[in-house]
Amino acid sequence: MSVVAIISAILTLIAGIGVFLIACQILSSNLESASSNKLKILFSKASRSRWIGVGIGTVGTAVIQSSGATTVMIIGFVNASIITLSQAATMIYGANIGTTITAQIVALGMFGKDTLSTSIMFSSLAGVGAFVSLFSKKDIWKKVGGILTGFGMLFVGLDMMSRSMSDFAALEDVRLYLSTIRNPLLLVLIGAILTAIIQSSSVMTSIAIAMVVTKLIRIDQGIFLTMGSNIGSCAVAIIAGMTSGKNAKRTALIHLIFNVSGVVFFLICELILELVTNNHITYGSLLQKMFPGAPQTQLAMFHTFFNVTTVFLILPLTNALVRLVSHLIPDSEDDVVMEGPHTFYIDDNMLKYPPVAVQQTKSEILNMASIAISNFNCSIDTICTMDFSQKEAFDKNETVLNFLNRALVDFCVKISETSQLSEKDRVYITTTFRSIRDIERIGDYAENIVEYAESLRNSNDRFSPEALKEIEQLRCLINLLYDKIIIAYRDEDYKSYQEADVIEQQVDDFTKLMEEMHIKRLEAGICTANIGAEYLSLSSNAERIADHLINVGKTIMTLEKVKS
């Protein structure tokens, strides 16, 4: 083979890898968007059951076709304290099982050499999907077209990689050199390094399958390369963990220990098998007997067997593994000192999976609303009792509200920049900016009420019993309004929003009544002008709080239009 032919084979391999990676991205993004609602529910409900955790990781990875994306998302959940380390570990186990689906699909596509190849048939879906996306007007059909395009392009890339492997297989020098690489540890290391560079175990496994099918390497060599790809796949998680908190780093370490343990166990078993049978039986020979004449299936089945077996081995040791990583990466005094305002549900790592990031954004906004209404109630308690013992907690909450305001806006901007959102999620994100601002303003008005209380304390004044009774009635109305708005916002319950709208009108009417009652008390000499000024300011601020709450609920009206 000439130098030009060798260079051509190398370039074809690089092109095939590129097409395969882009296909994974297209397939993943469209699957994410099309199944966003179900997957949001799936990933937002991490269960204490270990097997359910494994199931969540398996299904999630099988759907989005990326164990790296799933692992990064899990790290984001841990970093945001949504799930525990134990739950994260089981979901990571499942992600390793889910990623084997790609190898099975690739193996299926490499049948049919003498007849119409399944790879060619599947590749044609790229064209079908492109036409569907191009000529469809409905969003759902565009996503279906994108899924078909990505699926078809997987096999276009695979075919290019296979052809380049066939060209290399024709080179006697290359085949002789590769045949000399027999050391299992060296092959595992090569697989790990190449996977870390490519950042896709699916691509590495696909290349290994293509090399085995073209007889460039033996099945045993492909097995060890595949083992190494499992270790190399941890690179994505390690990078994500290094930029996050302690629990995120521990999660990345769990992923690494899990995969390394599986490789070590299988290497030891291989060694024992060879010693006992005097090299007559290996993993490769067993697979050749089980699936004769189908090297692609042999390697794909080993990949699945390897990951499933590792899960069964490590799952009972999950608690011990969590204790180990907690010991290796311990908490320090500096962590406590540096503790301050932080997000509770969102994390930048979740941006790898926008549909879940949207769900967590809603949870963070609801959490922010809870803090804001808590401060409102605290401000009412303070001005009614003139007890300032909660002032420190109030100030901390106000600091958290200001922090969440900035953090949520930044996070929503990042989500809005992605193309992997359904139409409904995209519309929802556009409404969050106003909702966040409305909730932050509720905190500001609560702060104003505390300032009115301080003014009364300085002048040694207090509200009359009648005024206190009216303030308490107003508080009850606003809390009832808050409850209805939260149900409407959280569950997209339009009926609750309508009920909230009625209560908001009652708040308006009641604040007008408060003004009238205040004038009567002022005329009767029951209260002074100074007290009256603070009282009217309080009722005005409370009315504005109700207005901001109803604004948050108006998001439901916007989403209703999308549904229709």
Tokens (6 digits) for 347 = 């994390």
Query: Is there a contact between 15 and 166 (Cβ–Cβ < 8 Å)?
Result: no
List, in order, residues 6 or more apart from 442 with CB less than 8 Å away: 369, 372, 373, 375, 376, 545, 548, 549
Tell me the mean pLDDT in the region 525-531. Answer: 77
pLDDT tens-digit series, residues 68-87: 767 777 777 777 666 788 88
Say if residue 36's pLDDT is above 70: no
Percent of the chain with pLDDT over 90: 38
What one-character DSSP code corresponds to residue 170? T
Distance CA 89, CA 324 (A): 13
Tell me the mean pLDDT in the region 31-55. Answer: 64
Closest CA to 27 of 183, 152, 139: 152
Distance CA 92, CA 76 (A): 13
- Domain 348-563 sits in CATH at 1.20.58.220
| pLDDT, position 564 | 52
Say if residue 556's pLDDT is above 80: no
Query: Is there a contact between 175 and 221 (Cβ–Cβ < 8 Å)?
Result: no
Distance CA 270, CA 282 (A): 6
Say if residue 527's pLDDT is above 60: yes
Other C-beta atoms lying within 10 Å of the C-beta of residue 86: 17
List, in order, residues 6 or more apart from 438 with CB less than 8 Å away: 548, 549, 551, 552
Other C-beta atoms lying within 10 Å of the C-beta of residue 313: 13
Query: Between residues 71 and 39, which one has the greater pLDDT?
Result: 71
Instruction: Give the rounded distance of the alpha carbon of 242 from its chain centre.
Output: 17
Say if residue 552's pLDDT is above 90: yes
Say if residue 493's pLDDT is above 50: yes
List, in order, residues 6 or more apart from 439 with CB less than 8 Å away: 365, 368, 369, 372, 401, 405, 548, 552
Q: Comparing 322-331, 354-363, 407-416, 531-540, which segment has the lowest mean pLDDT?
A: 354-363
**Which alpha helices (H) appear in 35-138, and where do they start and end?**
36-44, 50-64, 67-79, 85-98, 100-108, 118-135
Distance CA 124, CA 122 (A): 5
| pLDDT, position 408 | 96
Instruction: Give the rounded distance of the alpha carbon of 55 from its chain centre.
Output: 16
Q: If pLDDT is split at 50, 70 and 90, which confidence band does 144 have?
A: confident
Percent of the chain with pLDDT over 70: 86
Kindly list the distances between the CA atom of residue 470 and the CA atoms of 378, 476, 535, 540, 564, in Å, as whole numbers in the listed order: 17, 10, 10, 13, 42
pLDDT tens-digit series, residues 168-222: 666 667 667 777 888 899 999 998 988 887 777 877 888 888 888 888 889 999 9
Say if residue 544's pLDDT is above 80: yes
Tell me the mean pLDDT in the region 258-280. Answer: 90
Say if residue 47's pLDDT is above 60: no
pTM over 0.95: no
**Sequence ranges of the domains in the chain:** 3-328, 348-563
| pLDDT, position 116 | 45
Kindly list the distances between the CA atom of residue 203 and the CA atoms of 19, 21, 99, 199, 347, in Å, as whole numbers in the listed order: 10, 7, 11, 9, 28
Distance CA 252, CA 395 (A): 36
What mean pLDDT value characterizes the chain? 84
Distance CA 39, CA 57 (A): 11
Distance CA 359, CA 38 (A): 11
